[in-house]
Amino acid sequence: MHWKSFVALTTLAAAAQAAEKKAVSSAAKSSTTAAPKSTAAAATTSAAAAASPLTGGTNPLAITIPSIPQTTSYDVNTECQAYSVPGLTIDPKQWPNIWETATTNGMNTSAEFTSLYNSIDWTKKPTAPVRKATAAGGLDFTGYSATTDPDCWWSSSLCTIPKAAGINADIYRCEEPETWGLTYDDGPNCSHNAFYDFLQQQNLKASMFYIGSNVLDWPYGAMRGLKDGHHIADHTWSHQLMTTLTDQEVLAELYYTQKAIKFVTGVTPKYWRPAFGDVDDRVRWIATQLNLTAVIWDLDTDDWAAGNSVPETTVEQTYQDFITMGTNGSYATYGNIVLTHEIDNTTMTLAMKYLPQIKAAYKNVLDVATCNNITNPYMEDSVTMTPFGNATTTNTTTAASGSGVAPAASGSAAPATSAKSGASALTAPASLLALVALAVFAQ
Ligand SMILES: *[C@@H]1O[C@H](CO)[C@@H](O)[C@H](O)[C@H]1NC(C)=O
Ligand SMILES: *[C@@H]1O[C@H](CO)[C@@H](O)[C@H](O)[C@H]1NC(C)=O
Ligand SMILES: *[C@@H]1O[C@H](CO)[C@@H](O)[C@H](O)[C@H]1NC(C)=O
Ligand SMILES: *[C@@H]1O[C@H](CO)[C@@H](O)[C@H](O)[C@H]1NC(C)=O
Ligand SMILES: *[C@@H]1O[C@H](CO)[C@@H](O)[C@H](O)[C@H]1NC(C)=O
Ligand SMILES: *[C@@H]1O[C@H](CO)[C@@H](O)[C@H](O)[C@H]1NC(C)=O
Ligand SMILES: *[C@@H]1O[C@H](CO)[C@@H](O)[C@H](O)[C@H]1NC(C)=O
Ligand SMILES: *[C@@H]1O[C@H](CO)[C@@H](O)[C@H](O)[C@H]1NC(C)=O
């Protein structure tokens, strides 16, 4: 199928993601508990320069974004009209099917992927098995001990320091005290114009964990992320539970997202975030072969569920609690990393509502690269992040003067799953349909 015919699936995929998130029942639920302390070395594990094996695509230093309705409007229907970028021709033969496992469309038999796969010495791979999913779509923990936790399986134990050798340790907090680590998952969302304008007006930079399928669907959204100075990272091709995928599938999910980000923005990310935080030493080892380091979180807003499976007021209370933690000593010696999403109007509206209070409560509000002094989060050294001491991201002058953008009243935000999902379900693969059915069932 031509990649354009998958564009309609994006709304469906959001529902599928929500369903998956609901289905995963694990230690991740209690991830507001501080994760075990690691040494500050975690942040510098992959500091060594890595040359990107990927070439071509956009020049990251000369990104131009035309003022077209999709890049300027605040109306979701206008923003989310498909478009193509002049000079950026997407050859469907080079990419997995959008929103399907990244080995699809013959990727795993392609010369490109085979060569990458064969360049890796798989005899060094840790022994952790491919996990099973439950009938409900969650993880099957049968037979796994969270106490001994032989595979450092985060979903089971919140483990972030690999048990096996030669693997990049996860980053799960900011090393700078009283700092809010600002992260948004699942973009670029076609309807993020109001949100990205707000971040720009507030002089805020975030770590943006982009889904490869979204990057090809909404290239200007990804280009804007980089051009605005956000830290761009890899959030896999199709947002699945990584520990349930084969070696080949894990490699493809990570690689084709690096490739999509490189093609569209011109940089190759060295950081990634597993969907649902589902990572163990096997998955970490494969990511390490691609020079990738995982970024987890220590605080989870569950914002994606607001207005779906939990009332919006629950998520608002969570935001309030995390804001309180900025002034009550919780983060006296280090900073947090907070899980939030640009997945829909509700989550972006919540972010705009609470960011001014977050800026007031914390000393710094920073992307994860800056708060950990990671100046080179990409394989290309031409694009760097400001080191912490030089960052003036919390600009109180800007905050105080206000942006003129009044956050919409939270109650007026549209529910995240819309009737549209049902309409596009007609063209959906069975696996996504099953997840949508699950979402409906779960509510
Ligand atoms: C983007 O956000 C809109 C709502 O603003 C939502 O309907 C859509 O599903 C989102 N798309 C993706 C791919 O998450
Ligand atoms: C990883 O980094 C090394 C060192 O720069 C480089 O030679 C190699 O091509 C990179 N590999 C991948 C798969 O990105
Ligand atoms: C390629 O991937 C598909 C889907 O994951 C799998 O069914 C197939 O066996 C793989 N082919 C090869 C040659 O590994
Ligand atoms: C970051 O670098 C600055 C300037 O060298 C230094 O003052 C600060 O302690 C560093 N912070 C971290 C978390 O490494
Ligand atoms: C800080 O506030 C949070 C949220 O209300 C609370 O859970 C935590 O116990 C408080 N910590 C301290 C040290 O007071
Ligand atoms: C949410 O949708 C409303 C109505 O379309 C729009 O005015 C507002 O800008 C959107 N908010 C965000 C954060 O995109
Ligand atoms: C950081 O700030 C110091 C002092 O102003 C300056 O000398 C240095 O060049 C800056 N470094 C970067 C990478 O901007
Ligand atoms: C902070 O905001 C003010 C007012 O918008 C602006 O004039 C100033 O240049 C900003 N400073 C930095 C360092 O971004």
CB of 73 shorter than 6 A to ligand 1: no
pLDDT at position 51: 79
Question: How many CB atoms neighbour CB 292 within 10 A?
Answer: 25
Q: 3-442 adopts what CATH topology?
A: TIM Barrel (3.20.20)
pLDDT at position 50: 64
**Nearest by Cα to 147 from 158, 160, 157:** 157
CB of 348 shorter than 6 A to ligand 6: yes
Higher pLDDT, 167 or 404: 167
| Rounded average pLDDT over 389-407 | 41
| Rounded average pLDDT over 12-21 | 40
Mean pLDDT of the chain: 82
Length of the chain: 443
Q: Which atom of ligand 1 is nearest to the CA of 214?
A: 13
Higher pLDDT, 32 or 122: 122
293: CA distance to ligand 3 center in Å?
26
Contact 336, 357 (CB under 8 A): no
| Rounded average pLDDT over 219-241 | 98
Q: Is the pLDDT of residue 23 over 50?
A: no
Q: Which residue, by CA, sits nearest to atom 6 of ligand 1?
A: 344
Q: Quick: pLDDT tens for 273-319.
A: 999 999 999 999 999 999 999 999 999 999 999 999 999 999 999 99
| Rounded average pLDDT over 219-238 | 98
Q: Quick: pLDDT tens for 351-368.
A: 999 999 999 999 999 999
pLDDT at position 55: 86
Confidence band of 387 (pLDDT split at 50, 70, 90):
confident
**What pairing do the DSSP bridges indicate for beta strands 271-272 and 293-294?**
parallel
Confidence band of 401 (pLDDT split at 50, 70, 90):
very low
pLDDT at position 273: 98
pLDDT at position 49: 56
Share of the chain above pLDDT 90, in %: 74
Question: By mean pLDDT, which of 88-92, 193-197, 293-297, 428-432 is the weakest?
Answer: 428-432
pLDDT at position 389: 81
200: CA distance to ligand 8 center in Å?
11
Query: Mutate which of 97, 100, 101, 103 to test ligand 3's pocket (most atoms within 8 Å of Cβ)?
Result: 103
Confidence band of 392 (pLDDT split at 50, 70, 90):
low
d(CA 320, CA 27): 23
pLDDT at position 45: 37
| Rounded average pLDDT over 55-79 | 96
pLDDT at position 19: 37
CB of 387 shorter than 6 A to ligand 7: yes
Q: Which residue, by CA, sits nearest to atom 8 of ligand 1?
A: 11
Calculated CA dihedral for residues 281, 283, 289, 295, nearest 10 degrees: -90
- What own/partner pairs with CB < 8 Å and gap ≥ 24 does 60-66 have? 60/226, 60/265, 60/266, 60/267, 60/380, 60/382, 60/383, 61/266, 61/382, 61/383, 63/223, 63/226, 63/227, 63/265, 63/266, 65/220, 65/223, 65/224, 65/227
pLDDT at position 107: 98
Active site residues: 185, 341
Query: Mutate which of 76, 79, 343, 421 to test ligand 1's pocket (most atoms within 8 Å of Cβ)?
Result: 343
Structure tokens at 128: 């952790």
51: CA distance to ligand 2 center in Å?
5
Higher pLDDT, 1 or 152: 152
Q: Position of tokens 């990458």?
A: 116
Question: How many CB atoms neighbour CB 212 within 10 A?
Answer: 31
174: CA distance to ligand 4 center in Å?
11
Q: Is the pLDDT of residue 396 over 70?
A: no
d(CA 339, CA 351): 11
Q: Is the pLDDT of residue 405 over 70?
A: no
Helices 312-324, 345-361: inter-axial angle, 10-degree rounding: 20
Report the pocket of ligand 2 as residue ranges, CB < 6 Å: 50-51, 53, 290-291
| Rounded average pLDDT over 207-235 | 98
| Rounded average pLDDT over 158-178 | 97
Report the pocket of ligand 8 as residue ranges, CB < 6 Å: 203, 392, 395, 397-398, 401
323: CA distance to ligand 8 center in Å?
24
Q: Where are the beta strands (DSSP E) in 129-240?
A: 179-187, 207-210, 231-234
